[in-house]
Chain A
């Protein structure tokens, strides 16, 4: 049983397109996150979402928007994709803020 799942696993798209990545957790956690891991393997937090409160890393462009239809899902929507958006995007969840985080398998996004 996968605890944190993401789809798609791979995403190749053209510059300027809009795309979404889906994330689901079946752990009953209250908090979910999105991270970006760039080619140098730096893992940086983009968003955390806890009890309908969204905390945004101020360095994240507003082309990125998380959408949470319910507590078990936090999708990432990206508008007007740019070459620099190419990276692996990881979703994670935790019981609450500050608790252990469990990561999904990642979505490798390539923007051409």
Chain B
């Protein structure tokens, strides 16, 4: 089983839709959870960062972590065409030395 799994998509939604992006992980030692957005030919850009179970909200973005199920989600409300990008989840261990990225989900928001 891969350490981090993520549906690669592509995922196409109409503008204004609620988007749900998900990752599962296998190692319960992972304690840090991040979501990055990567536009084509650009470096990943940090969107959300959390280390606890539950929800964390920032504007139109909500990150959800369920450590018991080893499942993390990113919700995007009122999606915009500018949200079209690849979204990568990243999970780190307690020592911050080992970060594993999911393969990314490619999202297209259609006007």
Contacts and interface: CB of A to CB of B under 8 A. Distances in A.
Contacts of A100: 34, 46, 49
A94 B44 CA distance: 14
Interface residues of B, number: 25
A48 B92 CA distance: 13
Nearest to A9: B41
A106 interface: yes
Interface size class of A (residues with CB under 8 A): 20 to 34
B46 A41 contact: no
Nearest to B103: A42
B45 interface: yes
A98 B92 contact: yes
Interface string A24-65: 000000010101000011111100100000010000000000
B45 A103 contact: yes
A42 B86 CA distance: 11
Contact of B43 (A31, A44, A103): A103
Interface of A: 4, 31, 33, 35, 40-45, 48, 55, 90, 94, 96-106, 108
Given A40-B103, A48-B97, A97-B97, 11 more contacts: A41-B86, A41-B104, A42-B101, A42-B103, A43-B44, A45-B98, A45-B99, A94-B96, A98-B96, A99-B96, A103-B43
